């Protein structure tokens, strides 16, 4: 017990700021985690004083007080300030440090900066710069040997039961992601690889054309705001489904047109839309395949066009459905 207590104390201090915590710190509760539609002057979710202390002024909530520390339900953790998806539940693990711990982030969602104390690495939401906590390496908790120590108050948890998932491949994933992530109701659109023989492939391996993967985009969306059919229509309207193993100047099987369905309803919807296009004379080559494992692409592929301030060169919207 004495050894356990000492370890717990060490982990607790690891996430504490260098300065003594101010009396303004208060326990994070479900009330402070409640999502509100009210926005601030910058267009972000309006924060409570407790949330602002941590997210804007880089404070730290007290250990073992956050309402997400012991939450292990399946779902997605999003930024409390701007609703950007940050972590998936399958990356969360129990570290007994007093704050939610993750060994990986959604690619491109988290920014790292040297902390003001000169010792640690601060992590922030890559979209709004909201303070999340700190990241540590070499502790041996998981195979990834990484611990994102995150304040509960910096996040909102969305259970899997309130979300649905879709996976589309239509050439270079930069363009596919660009259009899908802008749909109201889409919480995340992640570029990645699917349908091949190599586990956790790299972009270099994909470009060889020998792994069998397709560049694709995984979407998590709120079915109360949009539908699978609406997303599938946009998918067909932002690429040429008659081009085989290519899309514009991008040539190769990794650039094929393919829908990876998660259930029979998605498959039937895709079949219906393909029939509509074929009745209009389009020679659709889009494949329909039951979805296998999806692998996130490297961070530099995520939100590519938005970060570069450019628009897709071969994914141009063209209305195809009445």
- Residue 149 appears among annotated catalytic residues: yes
How far apart are alpha carbons 136 and 129 in whole angstroms? 19
In contact, 316 and 238? CB cutoff 8 Å: yes
* Residue 184 three-state SS: coil
* Residue 53 three-state SS: helix
DSSP calls for 86-140: EEEGGGEE--SSSS-EES---TTSEEEEE-TTSSSEEEEETTT--EEEEEEES--
Instruction: Considering the candidates 97, 128, 149, 314, report the single residue annotated as catalytic.
Output: 149
Instruction: Considering the candidates 97, 125, 128, 172, report the single residue annotated as catalytic.
Output: 172
- Residue 128 appears among annotated catalytic residues: no
DSSP conformation class of 191? E
CB within 8 Å of 254: residues ≥ 6 apart: 206, 207, 209, 213, 214, 215
Q: Which residues are catalytic?
A: 149, 172
């Amino acid at each position: 017990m004495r050894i356990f207590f000492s370890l717990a104390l060490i982990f607790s201090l690891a996430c504490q700021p260098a300065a003594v915590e101010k009396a303004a710190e208060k326990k994070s509760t479900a009330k402070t985690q409640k999502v509100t539609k009210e926005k601030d002057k910058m267009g972000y979710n309006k924060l409570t004083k407790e949330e602002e202390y941590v997210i804007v002024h880089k404070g730290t909530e007290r250990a073992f007080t956050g309402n997400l520390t012991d939450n292990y339900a399946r779902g997605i953790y999003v930024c409390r300030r701007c609703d950007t998806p940050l972590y998936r539940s399958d990356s969360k693990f129990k570290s007994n440090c007093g704050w939610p711990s993750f060994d990986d982030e959604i690619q491109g969602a988290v920014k790292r900066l040297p902390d003001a104390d000169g010792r640690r690495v601060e992590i922030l939401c890559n979209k709004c710069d909201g303070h999340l906590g700190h990241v540590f390496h070499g502790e041996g908790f998981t195979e990834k040997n990484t611990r994102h120590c995150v304040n509960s108050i910096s996040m909102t948890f969305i259970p899997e039961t309130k979300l649905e998932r879709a996976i589309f491949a239509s050439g270079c994933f930069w363009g596919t992601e660009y259009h899908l992530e802008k749909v109201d109701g889409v919480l995340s659109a992640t570029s990645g690889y699917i349908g091949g023989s190599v586990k956790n492939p790299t972009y270099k391996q994909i470009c060889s054309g020998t792994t069998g993967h397709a560049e694709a985009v995984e979407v998590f969306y709120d079915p109360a705001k949009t539908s699978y059919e609406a997303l599938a229509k946009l998918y067909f309207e932002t690429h040429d489904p008659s081009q085989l193993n290519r899309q514009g100047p991008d040539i190769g099987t990794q650039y094929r047109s393919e829908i990876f369905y998660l259930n029979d309803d998605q498959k039937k919807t895709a079949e219906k839309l393909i029939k509509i296009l074929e009745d209009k004379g389009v020679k659709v080559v889009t494949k329909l395949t039951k979805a296998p494992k999806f692998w996130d692409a490297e961070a530099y592929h995520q939100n590519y066009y938005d970060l570069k301030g450019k628009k897709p060169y071969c994914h141009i919207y063209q209305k195809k459905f009445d």
